[in-house]
């Protein structure tokens, strides 16, 4: 019994370790977006692209490929190969880290299955999770390709899908880790906790749209937008539904509204369930997240603060994942 418990704990710690790597991956991805580094690598070689350029000729060849991209023609047309390296390295490490995550997941998974430490009921979902992680890499390249055609900006739809999928994969890893470390729970979710989890996820997707449209660079006041609590022009595009995805005013307003609603509902949950440590943690993190979001907006989206805001969002999402695991019956 002790060895079995110890083995299960080892599986859980492995899953938490991979989740931590995904956390770093999300932060790296945000930085590549904020620094404009994500479009520096204009090809994708998932099997053979482990090494960066090593010689001057190799660097020049990679730079020549970049010079054919819209980002070079529209924004970085006077960039030298030395300056190019400064944006290349961040995207390279982002992709390399993704490959390392794949190895860190696949190799221990095989070991634990062979050792019998992963049950049949969990082996299938974990193997599926590996292939979903590989699909996330394909989705990332699909997103990058949208910025290599005409406009040096990736599609906000593809960016939102890429980030949203990353959060789901991360939550699945955390949940699986909790399963092995803390043991199984009932299958009935607490509706209040589940609603907070879902609302936070929608708010995160709305934030991804803000990032994709650079909507945070406008209306840099709070709580008013251009002097109004509810700004004009929320439905200036036709058909009406498109405003929620392509209208900068609407996209920023809906993210604000969802964030405030999330904060209020987490506060209410905290006041009614304050004895739960996970409820206390959720309230602490959502308070910090709202503060970071407002500061990021008022300071016109400095890179370090915007990156911290994204990281805190993932930490808050982690706390809600834990809350939902603990409150199942």
Sequence-distant (6+) residues with CB within 8 A of 101 are: 18, 21, 22, 25, 133
Please tell me the pTM assigned to this model.
0.94
Q: Which residue has the tokens 């992963």?
A: 118
CA distance 214 to 202: 18
The residue ranges of every structural domain in the chain are: 1-184, 187-329
Beta strands in the chain (DSSP E): none
Q: Which residues of 36-56 are buried (b: 16+ CB within 10 A; e: fewer)?
A: bbbbbbbeeeeeeeeeebeee
Assess contact for 206 and 42: CB atoms under 8 A: no
Q: Which residue has the tokens 């974990």?
A: 126
CA distance 312 to 47: 32
Regions of the chain short of the pLDDT cut 70 = 1-5
CA distance 185 to 30: 34
Write down the pLDDT at residue 1.
Answer: 33
CA distance 287 to 172: 24
Label residue 224 exposed, middle or buried (CB < 10 Å: 0-12, 13-18, 19+). Answer: exposed
Could you give the maximum distance between any two Cα atoms of the chain, in Å? 66
CA distance 276 to 49: 47
CA distance 81 to 96: 21
List the one residue out of 19, 318, 268 whose CA is nearest residue 326: 318
CA distance 225 to 252: 9
For the chain, the first-to-last Cα distance in angstroms comes to: 25
Averaged pLDDT score across all residues of the chain: 94
Write down the pLDDT at residue 291.
Answer: 97
Sequence-distant (6+) residues with CB within 8 A of 246 are: 156, 213, 237
- Which DSSP symbol is given to 69? S
Assess contact for 262 and 206: CB atoms under 8 A: no
Residue 94 tokens read as 């982002």
Cis peptide bond prior to 185, omega within 30° of 0: no
CA distance 316 to 288: 9
Q: Which residue has the tokens 């904060």?
A: 263
295 φ, ψ to 5°? -65, -40
Assess contact for 209 and 225: CB atoms under 8 A: no
Label residue 188 exposed, middle or buried (CB < 10 Å: 0-12, 13-18, 19+). Answer: exposed
Sequence-distant (6+) residues with CB within 8 A of 102 are: 130, 133, 134, 137
Sequence-distant (6+) residues with CB within 8 A of 3 are: none
């Amino acid at each position: 019994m002790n060895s079995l418990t110890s083995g299960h704990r080892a599986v859980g710690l492995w899953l938490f370790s991979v989740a931590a790597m995904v956390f770093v991956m999300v932060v790296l991805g945000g930085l590549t977006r904020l620094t404009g580094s994500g479009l520096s690598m204009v090809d994708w070689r998932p099997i053979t692209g482990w090494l960066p350029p090593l010689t001057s000729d190799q660097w020049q060849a990679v730079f020549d490929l970049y010079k054919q991209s819209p980002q070079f023609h529209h924004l970085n047309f006077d960039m030298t190969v030395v300056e190019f390296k400064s944006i290349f390295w961040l995207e390279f490490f982002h992709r390399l880290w993704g490959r390392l995550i794949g190895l860190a997941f696949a190799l221990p998974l095989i070991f634990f299955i062979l050792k019998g430490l992963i049950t049949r009921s969990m082996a299938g979902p974990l193997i599926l999770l590996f292939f979903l992680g590989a699909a996330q890499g394909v989705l990332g390249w699909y997103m990058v390709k949208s910025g290599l055609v005409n406009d040096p900006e990736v599609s906000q739809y593809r960016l939102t899908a890429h980030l949203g999928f990353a959060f789901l994969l991360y939550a699945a890893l955390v949940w699986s880790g909790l399963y092995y470390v803390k043991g199984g729970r009932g299958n009935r979710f607490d509706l209040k906790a589940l609603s907070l989890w879902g609302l936070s996820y929608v708010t995160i997707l709305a934030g991804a749209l803000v990032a994709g449209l650079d909507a945070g660079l406008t209306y840099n006041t709070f709580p008013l937008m251009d002097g109004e609590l509810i700004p004009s022009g929320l439905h200036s595009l036709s058909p009406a539904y498109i405003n929620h995805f392509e209208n900068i005013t609407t996209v920023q307003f809906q993210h604000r509204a969802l964030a405030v609603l999330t904060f209020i509902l987490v506060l209410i949950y905290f006041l009614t369930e304050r004895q739960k440590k996970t409820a206390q943690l959720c309230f602490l993190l959502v308070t910090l997240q709202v503060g970071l979001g407002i500061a990021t907006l008022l300071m016109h989206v400095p890179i370090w603060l915007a990156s911290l805001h994204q990281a805190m969002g993932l930490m808050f999402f982690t706390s809600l994942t834990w809350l939902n695991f603990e409150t199942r019956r």
